[in-house]
């Protein structure tokens, strides 16, 4: 991921006719190479215990420094666990978790790109007020109808993930006519909503593990390049998920090797952003991928 001073769209088209770009607060970010998004969870109940960070600011900053040092281009900050069966978190509690973390990260790492993982427009607004750069919405605006219009007003990039239902009901909603076509139709509808709301940059995430069976997850990964037809950057988030540890018969703590294997598969099939718990290994995967496909 590289950045360059912002310029007119005509000049950008001439300079970067085939590039995928994001505009973040006056900077043009070029996704000419795949990049890594490091996960920071200020939650007590995320499914992978090692991703949980206590409210202690020093521990948050130490973890962020580690992820950035290992090559994270984006830090994804979450204050609400979306795993099945996770405890309900009020909007106020989510804001109280997220805001001090965003503020601390921006103070100590002002150049870092901060994504906030939330499906609530009030959390998005509050996080933006403290410097958040991207909103990562697991529901694609379905759980809060004010989210997409709000992100449009904030004028920042939006990560739109496919999910049905909510984290508690999603695994009862895995019936599809044709899963690739159904997800593509979802994204086409959402992209139309986003552009009408004024969102200039939308990253799509097929939502591995969200309203999908284990078999469906692998089918989507195998056919990930299908979603390149809509020309938006694709984010793949498979890190230590059940599609890996259940297949291998291990725990999330033992799923790093499987994660690395599937991250390479995602890159080979068109992913531009890998959302991961383990940045060093993902960065090495991107480096090897680039060696194969310079």
Q: Which domain holds residue 252?
A: 33-292
In a shared domain, residues 111 and 176: yes
In a shared domain, residues 266 and 160: yes
> Between residues 80 and 86, which one has the greater pLDDT?
80
- Check if the beta carbon of residue 241 is closer than 8 Å to that of residue 214: no
In a shared domain, residues 61 and 191: yes
In a shared domain, residues 26 and 48: no
Where residue 85 falls among pLDDT bands split at 50, 70, 90? low
Q: Give catalytic status of residue 19 as yes or no.
A: no
pLDDT score for 14: 37
Catalytic pick among 97, 212, 241, 272: 241
In a shared domain, residues 215 and 80: yes
DSSP 8-state class, residue 73: S
Partner residues linked to 35 by β-bridges:
273
Q: Give catalytic status of residue 164 as yes or no.
A: no
Where residue 5 falls among pLDDT bands split at 50, 70, 90? very low
In a shared domain, residues 15 and 80: no
Q: What whole-number percentage of the chain has pLDDT above 70? A: 87
> Between residues 261 and 54, which one has the greater pLDDT?
261
Residue spans of alpha helices (H) in the chain:
9-15, 57-69, 91-108, 121-129, 147-154, 179-196, 214-222, 242-248, 256-268, 279-292
Catalytic pick among 275, 280, 287, 290: 275
pLDDT score for 81: 76
pLDDT score for 43: 77
In a shared domain, residues 8 and 112: no
In a shared domain, residues 124 and 7: no
In a shared domain, residues 9 and 100: no
pLDDT in tens, 204-233: 999 999 999 999 999 999 999 999 999 999
In a shared domain, residues 215 and 232: yes
pLDDT score for 221: 98
pLDDT in tens, 251-291: 999 999 999 999 999 999 999 999 999 999 999 999 999 99
DSSP secondary structure string for all residues of 184-223: HHHHHHHHHHHHHTT---EEEE--TTSS--HHHHHHHHHT
Q: In b/e form, how buried is each residue of 34-72, taking b as 16+ CB within 10 angstroms?
A: bbbbbbbbbbeebbbeebebeeebeebbebbeebbebbb
pLDDT in tens, 148-192: 999 999 999 999 999 997 777 787 889 999 999 999 999 999 999
pLDDT score for 55: 64
Number of domains in the chain: 2
Distance CA 183, CA 173 (A): 13
pLDDT score for 54: 60
In a shared domain, residues 121 and 204: yes
CATH of the domain at 94: 3.20.20.20
- Strand 235-236 relative to strand 74-78, pairing: unpaired
């Amino acid at each position: 991921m590289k950045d360059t001073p912002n310029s007119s769209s005509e000049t950008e088209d001439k300079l970067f006719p085939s590039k995928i770009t994001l505009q973040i607060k006056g900077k043009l970010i070029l996704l000419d190479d795949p990049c890594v998004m490091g996960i920071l969870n200020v939650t007590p109940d995320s499914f992978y215990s090692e991703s949980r960070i206590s409210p202690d600011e020093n521990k948050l900053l130490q973890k962020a420094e580690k992820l950035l040092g290992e090559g994270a281009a984006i830090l994804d900050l979450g204050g609400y666990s979306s795993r099945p069966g996770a405890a309900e978190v009020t909007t106020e509690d989510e804001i109280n978790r997220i805001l001090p973390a965003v503020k601390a990260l921006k103070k100590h790492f002002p150049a870092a790109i901060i994504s906030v993982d939330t499906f609530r427009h009030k959390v998005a607004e509050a996080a933006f007020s403290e410097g958040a750069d991207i909103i990562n919405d697991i529901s694609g605006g379905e759980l809060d109808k004010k989210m997409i219009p709000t992100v449009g007003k904030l004028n920042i990039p939006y990560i739109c993930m496919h999910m049905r239902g909510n984290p508690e009901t999603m695994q009862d909603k895995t019936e599809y006519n044709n899963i690739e076509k159904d997800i593509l139709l979802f994204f086409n509808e959402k992209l139309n909503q986003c552009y009408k709301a004024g969102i200039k940059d939308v990253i799509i995430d097929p939502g591995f593990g969200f309203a999908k069976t284990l078999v469906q997850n692998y089918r989507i990964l195998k056919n990930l390049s299908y979603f390149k037809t809509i020309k938006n950057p694709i984010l793949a988030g498979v890190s230590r998920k059940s599609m890996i540890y259940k297949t291998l018969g291990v725990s999330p703590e033992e799923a790093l090797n499987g994660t690395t294997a599937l991250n390479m598969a995602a890159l080979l099939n068109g992913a531009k952003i890998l959302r991961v718990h383990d940045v060093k290994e993902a960065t090495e995967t991107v480096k090897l991928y680039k060696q194969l496909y310079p």
